[in-house]
Amino acid sequence: MNITELTSLTGDTICAVSTPQGRGGIAVIRVSGPQALDFVEKRWQGQPLAAMATHTVHLGHLTDSQGELLDQVVLTIYRAPNSFTGEDVVELACHGSTWIQQQAVQTLIDAGCRHATAGEFTRRAFANGRMDLSQAEAVADVIEAQSRAAHHVAMNQMRGRYGDQLKGLREKLLHFTALIELELDFSEEDVTFADRSEVTLLAREIQALIGRLADSYREGNAIRNGMPVAIVGQTNAGKSTLLNALLGDDRALVSDIHGTTRDTIEDTVIMGGTLFRFIDTAGIRQSSDTVERMGIERTWQAIDKASVVLWVVDVTSADTSMADDILGRCDGKALIVVLNKTDLDDDFAARSELNDLLPQGTPVVAISAKRDADIEALRDLIVTATTLPNVDSNAVIVTNARHYQALTRARDAISRAIDGLNSGLSGDLLDQDIRECLHWLGEITGEITTDAILAEIFAHFCIG
Ligand SMILES: Nc1nc2c(ncn2[C@@H]2O[C@H](COP(=O)(O)OP(=O)(O)OP(=O)(O)O)[C@@H](O)[C@H]2O)c(=O)[nH]1
Ligand SMILES: [Mg+2]
């Protein structure tokens, strides 16, 4: 389905409560569509809507279909095309009782509106060219953002910086195809494009730009879903107790039985303005139990995916035999050694042979997870050990898994084109790779998309 067909779907007028579900001081009901003004007029007592200028605010009353007064409301009018959806939009701010909200929506439906589906307002904004698909998706991210960093990245995307970069890439690719086609035009005369170096240079530039965007996803994912911090160590070291202490919640089961945690347990918390995702793991030990071994395999995977690794060592039974295995997996990650149960032995750090095993400069912190002692010091270490992306710069950071997938495919396609250039592949075959690259970039901004993809994207919106 293309955009023109989509637009024809937007013929009716929709309404929905746009503020969160439940009771509140006020609630806002949004109406959008070609008959928004007519339908609201039927239930409105106040200055006629037809006489209102766009972007103005009016006090009046909303009635039910019998003409009974429902509420005093504040009406804001946005005339097409200068509205969020690009259609005529009316927003009614009423008192936020759940009954008023229900009745107000009901009376608008009786007047001719249809109840909006999830994401429909934003989908219309996209269909009417008010924003590209990446911006529409950013609307959901802005609503979902739980930290300053996530908010900043989503705002950047919603304001279109990302779309601009993709547009720039698209233009470069089109220039590339033009150069290749020029070569094709001359192919009958058996002349190859005199100098392919210009084309190769351009292809490399495109590859680097796509690569930078794709690579930013690791950071982007951490910003959006939480910086992953794996809590690992031998069984009974106090990992689950530590998870609970960091979360301030009894999230994981704790017991003195070795091997209590079998599967990874995750939860998020904001520290220093950043969202962290703590992952408690199955304790590492030799085990003949199949299920426990599966759990320990997940522990290693959790380390691989983590940005920060907390290696919890029980000072009363410190076993350093796993040091090599753990250290060997921590390349490029922030490792913090957490000496736990110091309430039972507070002298361990001084006489520990662990110090010789650790790479120089590895931060070591002594705590008691059970007594909640020195957890704050550990929190500080985690925050400082994490290299947070500089979100204040305006660099575009990819946070969306769908975009990452499309970028990876676009990168594969441009890499194939570069290989083809190096091996003297004919122009028409190069052209295919470039068109594929264009296709994947177009999927991100929504120039190329299917109705199924759109339905999937917008279904994840709350009403909005
Ligand atoms: N004295 C003391 N005991 C602790 C401390 N932290 C944890 N414990 C105890 O150590 C035992 C094991 O704690 P868990 O948090 O279940 O240990 P774990 O590392 O998650 O163990 P597995 O899930 O089996 O790998 C429990 O009895 C805890 O109460 C501490 O700081 N001091
Ligand atoms: Mg545990």
Tokens 């919603």 appear where?
158
Quick one: which atom of ligand 1 is closest to the CA of 241? 15
Over the stretch 131-142, which tens digit does the pLDDT of each residue have?
A: 999 999 898 888
- pLDDT of the residue at 320: 81
Quick one: which atom of ligand 1 is closest to the CA of 234? 25
- pLDDT of the residue at 186: 63
Digits of tens for pLDDT over the chain (464 positions)? Answer: 344 444 445 589 999 999 988 899 999 999 999 999 999 999 999 999 999 999 999 999 999 999 999 999 999 999 999 999 999 999 999 999 999 999 999 999 999 999 999 899 999 999 999 999 999 989 888 888 888 888 888 888 888 888 888 989 999 999 888 888 777 666 555 555 546 777 888 899 999 999 999 988 888 888 888 999 999 999 999 999 999 999 999 999 999 999 999 999 999 998 887 889 999 999 999 999 999 999 999 999 999 999 999 999 999 987 788 888 999 999 889 999 999 999 998 777 666 778 888 888 899 999 999 999 999 999 999 998 887 666 666 678 898 889 999 999 999 999 999 999 889 888 888 889 999 999 999 999 888 878 888 888 888 776 66
Is the CB–ligand 1 distance for residue 369 below 6 Å?
yes
User: Whose C-alpha lies nearest to ligand 1, atom 2?
Assistant: 341
Q: What is the pTM of this model?
A: 0.71
- pLDDT of the residue at 107: 97
User: Whose C-alpha lies nearest to ligand 1, atom 11?
Assistant: 256
Over the stretch 9-51, which tens digit does the pLDDT of each residue have?
A: 558 999 999 998 889 999 999 999 999 999 999 999 999 999 9
Mutate to test the pocket of ligand 1, among 231, 232, 250, 254 (most ligand atoms within 8 A of CB): 254
- pLDDT of the residue at 396: 84
- Closest ligand relative to 256 C-alpha: 1
Residue 314 CA to ligand 1 centre (angstroms)? 8
Is the CB–ligand 1 distance for residue 234 below 6 Å?
no
User: Whose C-alpha lies nearest to ligand 1, atom 13?
Assistant: 238
- pLDDT of the residue at 8: 42
Is the CB–ligand 1 distance for residue 236 below 6 Å?
yes
Is the CB–ligand 1 distance for residue 83 below 6 Å?
no
